[in-house]
Amino acid sequence: MEMALLKAKQSAFLEETCSYYNSTTRNTNDKGYCKYYPAHDKTEGCAIGRKIADKDLCKKLDSISFNGIFRDEIFNKLPYNLKELGKNFLDYIQNLHDKPLNWDENGLSEEGIKIKTLIINKFELNK
């Protein structure tokens, strides 16, 4: 994929993720673990899981990893439209979603804004 197109897709994914979540819509279960499959009725899943149409796959991924860590055994099962964004990028997105300190009732917290800026700079999404 052309680099400019990849960066545009990554940037759109980051922006959409940041605008979707707040502290009440993050997808965590009663123990605070993030889940690919929707854990409650205020969300469609974690940052990656909500982009997976096959909800059976989301359940399968939850059985592999209870804490949202991106490993090859998870990444390799993702649909192409997610894999094309890159494992490292998706790992950063998932970590942004997973940390409660990154979110408040309005969306990104001050800490979350710092992480978003780090992602933008790391993946050169502002160029």
Tell whether 70 is covered by a domain.
yes
Tell whether 42 is covered by a domain.
yes
**Number of domains the chain is built from:** 1
Q: Spell out the per-residue pLDDT of the chain, length 127, in tens.
A: 799 999 999 999 999 999 999 988 888 777 777 888 888 788 888 899 999 999 999 999 988 865 555 678 888 999 999 999 999 999 999 999 989 999 999 999 999 999 999 999 999 998 7
Tell whether 76 is covered by a domain.
yes
Tell whether 75 is covered by a domain.
yes
Tell whether 88 is covered by a domain.
yes
DSSP states along the chain: --HHHHHHHHHHHHHHHHHH--TTTS-B-TTS-B-SS--STT-SSSTTGGG-S-HHHHHHHHHH-SS----HHHHTTS-HHHHTT-HHHHHHHHHHHH-GGGEETTEE-HHHHHHHHHHHHHTTTT-
Tell whether 7 is covered by a domain.
yes
Tell whether 61 is covered by a domain.
yes
Tell whether 127 is covered by a domain.
no
User: Which residues form the domain of 12?
Assistant: 3-122
pTM over 0.85: yes
